Amino acid sequence: MARRRRVVKKKTPAWSRWALIGGAVFVLAGIILLAKQQFAPVPTPTLPPPTATATAQPPADTATPAPVEQFGYRVKNVLPHDRGAFTQGLVFQDGVFYEGTGLYGRSSLRKVTPETGAVIQQQNLPPTFFGEGITIWGDEIIQLTWKSRRGFVYDKNTFKLKREFNYPTEGWGITHDGTRLIMSDGTANLYFWNPETLEEIGRVEVRDGDTPIVRLNELEYIDGAVYANVWQTNRIARIDPDSGRVTAWIDLSGLLSPEDLAQPVDVLNGIAFDAESNRLFVTGKLWPKIFEIELVQK
């Protein structure tokens, strides 16, 4: 009978078994960690709060505009004015007033002595034209008409008509800034014209905040700003001609006395500035007086 060989199994040392188990656990942990790093979302870094010196400043054009100033007035002097003059434009130069008047059949260009109100030179418009604003450019006077879309250019000294021109809107007020003519047409727009060609080269809408200011009438350019009568009101708007923003309101309520109102008068219209003596004059249509005023801030 054959004898079976006895197989003796060698025992694996305990420390070896634990080493194998530990190695397997280590490898498994590494795989899990690698998977987490691969699929986990990338965290958004937390930024420190901005310091006072790092605060961004708003763009210049979004800055809050300065508040609109409010002015009243003080009367410094009173001058006589022709009650029959329906004043549409007024300019002071060389010690006299140049005045443009309106109404069909009564429109004219005048030179007036301030102290007496006497008309010393006059050019009447044809009766089909309703005269409007005037301005002096060099040795010429430019006069607008209301609905005819026709303007006239006169010799300043002789009042002789030199030429006529056309424009596409109504004509209300006109002035200049030394470079451009600036005109109004009763809307909220100011138009800029080339003084040689008398053609539009730009325009701006006049606003008080978000509100368009319509019925801009007689104009005067004073110290970088356009002063504009607003038709059928007792107010003058001071306007930045670059932006169209109203920077001030001038309330001229109460200029005329009860005696002045005893005869028919029309609205405030007419602004003139004596640049040499820093004098501001205002009047109105069919008013008996021209007032030299000083603005008083409210």
Structure tokens given for 8: 């003796």
In the predicted structure, residue 34 carries a pLDDT above the cut 90: no
CA distance 225 to 201: 19
> What is the pLDDT averaged over residues 238-250?
98
262 or 80, which is more confident: 80
Distances 19 to 15, 23, 113, 165, 208 between C-alpha atoms, Å: 6, 6, 120, 108, 87
Determine contact, residues 210/224, Cβ cutoff 8 Å.
Answer: no
Q: What is the 3-state secondary structure (H, E, C) of 23-79?
A: HHHHHHHHHHHHHHHHHCCCCCCCCCCCCHHHCCCCCHHHCCCCCCEEEEEEEEEEE
In the predicted structure, residue 32 carries a pLDDT above the cut 50: no
Q: Which of 14-18, 213-217, 288-292 has the lowest mean pLDDT?
A: 14-18
User: Residue 65's pLDDT is what?
Assistant: 77
User: Residue 17's pLDDT is what?
Assistant: 53
Is residue 38 included in any domain, yes or no?
Answer: no
Is residue 151 included in any domain, yes or no?
Answer: yes
pTM given for the model: 0.79
CA distance 281 to 298: 20
Q: How confident is the model at residue 15 (pLDDT cuts 50, 70, 90)?
A: very low
In the predicted structure, residue 2 carries a pLDDT above the cut 70: no
In the predicted structure, residue 91 carries a pLDDT above the cut 70: yes
User: Residue 66's pLDDT is what?
Assistant: 86
Element (DSSP H or E) covering residue 16: helix 14-39
CA distance 194 to 276: 26
In the predicted structure, residue 262 carries a pLDDT above the cut 60: yes
CA distance 16 to 22: 10
Domain tally, the chain: 1
Rounded mean pLDDT of the chain? 86
Distances 259 to 114, 115, 218, 264, 265 between C-alpha atoms, Å: 21, 21, 26, 11, 11
Is residue 70 included in any domain, yes or no?
Answer: no
CA distance 181 to 195: 6
Is residue 207 included in any domain, yes or no?
Answer: yes
In the predicted structure, residue 105 carries a pLDDT above the cut 60: yes
In the predicted structure, residue 45 carries a pLDDT above the cut 70: no
Is residue 98 included in any domain, yes or no?
Answer: yes
38 or 149, which is more confident: 149
Q: Please report, rounded to a whole number, the percentage of residues in the chain having pLDDT higher than 70.
A: 79
Is residue 118 included in any domain, yes or no?
Answer: yes
Model confidence pLDDT, tens digit, residues 138-186: 999 999 999 999 999 999 999 999 999 999 999 999 999 999 999 999 9
Model confidence pLDDT, tens digit, residues 47-87: 444 444 444 444 555 567 789 999 999 999 999 999 999 99
Is residue 58 included in any domain, yes or no?
Answer: no
In the predicted structure, residue 95 carries a pLDDT above the cut 90: yes
Structural domain harbouring 239 = 77-297
Cα-Cα-Cα-Cα dihedral of 198, 110, 232, 67, to 10°? 60
In the predicted structure, residue 33 carries a pLDDT above the cut 70: no
Structure tokens given for 97: 């007033």
CA distance 271 to 280: 7
In the predicted structure, residue 44 carries a pLDDT above the cut 70: no
Is residue 291 included in any domain, yes or no?
Answer: yes
> What is the pLDDT averaged over residues 108-123?
98
Q: Which of 23-32, 55-64, 128-137 has the lowest mean pLDDT?
A: 23-32
Domain harbouring 128, CATH code = 2.130.10.10
Q: Which of 11-20, 129-138, 197-206 has the lowest mean pLDDT?
A: 11-20
- Name which of 230, 287, 283 is nearest 75 in CA terms: 283
Q: 87: how many CB neighbours lie within 10 A of its CB?
A: 28
Determine contact, residues 172/185, Cβ cutoff 8 Å.
Answer: yes
Buried-state track 136-152, b at ≥16 Cβ within 10 A, e below 16: bbeeebbbbbbebebbb
